[in-house]
Amino acid sequence: MPGPVLLTAVVFVVLAVLFALATLHRLVDDDGSIGAAVFFAAMAVACAAPALGLSGRRPWAPVAAYVPSGLLATASLGTFGAITLVGLGLLAWVLWALNARASRDWLAGPRRPR
**Residue 62 maps to which CATH number?**
1.20.1270
pTM: 0.82
- pLDDT on residue 111: 64
Bigger pLDDT: 58 vs 78: 58
Tell me, yes or no, whether 98 lies in a domain: yes
The confidence score (pLDDT) of residue 37 equals 87
H-state helical runs in the chain: 3-28, 34-55, 61-73, 82-99, 101-108
Q: Would the pLDDT of 58 be above 80? A: yes
* Closest among 53, 86, 56, 55 to 71, alpha carbons compared: 86
Mean pLDDT of the chain: 85
Number of domains the chain contains: 1
Determine the structural domain holding residue 93 and report its residue range: 3-107
Q: Is residue 112 part of a domain?
A: no
Task: Flag whether 114 is in a domain.
Answer: no
Backbone angles phi, psi at 34, to 5 degrees: -70, -30
For residue 56, give the DSSP letter. Answer: T
Q: Provide the percentage of residues in the chain whose pLDDT is more than 90.
A: 32
Which residue type occupies 58? R
d(CA 64, CA 54): 9
pLDDT at 100: 87
Average pLDDT over residues 31-59: 88
Q: With the C-alpha atoms ordered 44, 18, 2, 55, is the resulting torsion angle positive or negative?
A: negative
